[in-house]
């Protein structure tokens, strides 16, 4: 009888501890109503997730949240889980620098944090016997040692939610959703399904919807270059963050085109060649095939112009377009009134009488997650004063 009572008391205590930890986390990590299909998560949220996944005692939360990570097997695999959860760790390629950097705030006066962190990782991983193996415990060790280097040398850990790079499946889902939301016609889907992303009003607005839904574009602030840079973490391209890229996007926005045309031109002329060139084309192609396989009937596509990947799309000026205009021929039996149409009587840079006032020009600022409340806090970790040498 005494053993049964003891076991019952133990279960009650364990349940109470878990409830209190979850209450603390729920209070500390207020749910943010994230727009579109953005995925954002904080370090503490990922920590709580992994404690549950790995069935570790809930009372360890406070210890780990205070950045005390003891050198034991369970903690090392917990750190690996957090890295997988926040997508800054890959068992094959290791730490994803463009992603994990979003969760740390370097000291403004520190100009060598990247150098020290890289040398620390090189030294620690080099000291692991068989560090290139594929055993699960080895992956835990490598993730743990890499994270410790970031804690010691990179900067202070940021506690607010950060946008996570979306997987290809998630991007395809965003494009698929936009195809259905905008009711893109079957003849265009047929073109997309074979890799021909035809220039049409529906295509331009589809690209706008896709970048909005996947977090790469904001209707007010424009393209989120940091988000796109983090998304291509396995193929980082510094040109995303270059001033020249921001200037080119601002030039297109300053022409006061409608947003569908702005996004289309920005993608074809500026964003598309960066990272994996025209990666979104393959995303739309896969989404179109999925939509067509849902049972929609396909028609031949011949009335739409096709762009050339070798020659970026160029928007002609109003005086040139008076002589040559693109006309989209629609089937007589179909009602396309629900499709978004780019007006051909008011080209880029002009405005019809009585139209809504132009939106103010907003400079492109590579800012990430500035809408989250309350403001981000950082957890300071002591930094060694000695410099790592080769």
pLDDT in tens, 95-110: 998 889 889 999 989 8
CB 104 within 8 A of CB 158: yes
Average pLDDT over residues 319-336: 43
> What was the pLDDT predicted at 14?
46
CB 123 within 8 A of CB 72: no
Lowest mean pLDDT among 77-81, 95-99, 130-134, 193-197: 130-134
**218 - beta bridge partners?**
222
Give CA–CA dist 132/7, Å, rounded. Answer: 44
CB 206 within 8 A of CB 182: yes
Give CA–CA dist 358/259, Å, rounded. Answer: 11
| More confident call, 92 vs 374 | 92
Average pLDDT over residues 241-252: 92
Confidence of residue 359 (pLDDT cuts 50, 70, 90): very low
pLDDT winner (highest mean) among 115-119, 214-218, 311-315, 321-325: 115-119
Question: What is the SS3 assignment for the chain?
Answer: CHHHHHHHHHHHHHHHHHHHHHHHHHHHCCCCCCCCCCCEECHHHHHHHHHHHCCCCHHHHHHHHCCCCCCCHHHHHHHHHHHHHHCCEECCCEECHHHHHHHEECCCCCCCHHHHHHHHHHHHHHHCCCCCCCCHHHHHHHHHHHHHHHHHHHCEEECCCEECCCCHHHHHHHHHHHHHHHCCCHHHHHHHHCCCCCECHHHHHHHHHHHHHHCCEECCCEECHHHHHHHCCCCCCHHHHCHHHHHHHHHHHCCCCCHHHHHHHHHHHHHCCCCCCCHHHHHHHHHHHHHHCCCCCCCCCCCCECCCCCCCCCCCCHHHHCCCCCCCCCCCCCCCCCCCCCCCCCCCCCCCCCCCCCCCCCCCCCCCCCCCCCCCCEECCCCCCCCCCC
171, with CB counted inside 10 A (0-12, 13-18, 19+), is buried
CB 153 within 8 A of CB 115: no
Entry pTM: 0.59
The string of pLDDT tens digits covering residues 159-196 is 888 878 778 888 999 999 999 989 999 999 999 999 99
What domains lie within the chain, and their CATH numbers? Answer: 39-164 (1.10.238.20), 168-293 (1.10.238.20)
> What was the pLDDT predicted at 229?
84
Confidence of residue 361 (pLDDT cuts 50, 70, 90): very low
- Of the candidates 73, 92, 87, 93, the one whose C-alpha atom is nearest the C-alpha of residue 134 is 92
């Amino acid at each position: 009888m005494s053993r049964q009572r003891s076991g019952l008391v133990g279960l009650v205590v364990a349940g109470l501890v878990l409830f209190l930890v979850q209450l603390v986390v729920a209070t500390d990590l207020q749910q943010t109503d994230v727009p579109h299909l953005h995925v954002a998560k904080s370090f503490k949220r990922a920590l709580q997730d992994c404690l549950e996944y790995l069935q570790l005692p809930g009372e360890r939360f406070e210890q780990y949240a205070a950045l005390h990570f003891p050198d034991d097997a369970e903690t090392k695999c917990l750190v690996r889980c957090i890295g997988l959860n926040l997508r800054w760790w890959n068992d094959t390629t290791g730490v994803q620098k463009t992603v994990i950097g979003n969760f740390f705030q370097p000291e403004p006066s520190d100009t060598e944090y990247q150098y020290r962190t890289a040398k620390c990782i090189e030294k620690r991983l080099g000291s692991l016997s068989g560090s290139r193996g594929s055993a699960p415990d080895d992956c835990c060790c490598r993730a743990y040692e890499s994270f410790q280097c970031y804690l010691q040398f990179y900067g202070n850990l940021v506690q607010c939610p950060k946008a996570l790079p979306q997987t290809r499946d998630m991007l395809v889902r965003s494009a698929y959703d936009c195809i259905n939301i905008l009711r893109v016609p079957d003849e265009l889907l047929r073109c997309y399904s074979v890799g021909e992303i035809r220039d049409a009003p529906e295509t331009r607005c589809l690209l706008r919807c896709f970048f909005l839904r996947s977090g790469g574009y904001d209707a007010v602030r424009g393209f989120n270059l940091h988000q796109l840079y983090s998304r291509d973490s396995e193929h980082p391209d510094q040109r995303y963050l270059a001033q020249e890229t921001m200037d080119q996007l601002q030039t297109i926005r300053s022409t006061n085109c409608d947003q569908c045309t702005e996004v289309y031109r920005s993608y074809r002329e500026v964003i598309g060649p960066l990272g994996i060139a025209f990666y979104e084309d393959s995303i739309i192609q896969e989404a179109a095939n999925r939509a067509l396989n849902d049972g929609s009937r396909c028609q031949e596509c011949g009335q739409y112009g096709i762009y050339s990947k070798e020659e970026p799309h160029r928007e002609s000026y109003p005086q040139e377009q008076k002589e040559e205009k693109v006309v989209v021929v629609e089937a007589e039996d179909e009602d396309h009134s629900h499709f978004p149409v780019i007006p051909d009587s008011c080209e880029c840079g002009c405005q019809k009488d009585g139209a809504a006032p132009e939106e103010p020009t907003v400079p492109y600022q590579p800012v990430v997650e500035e809408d989250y409340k309350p403001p981000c806090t950082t957890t300071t970790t002591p930094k060694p004063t000695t410099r790592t040498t080769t």
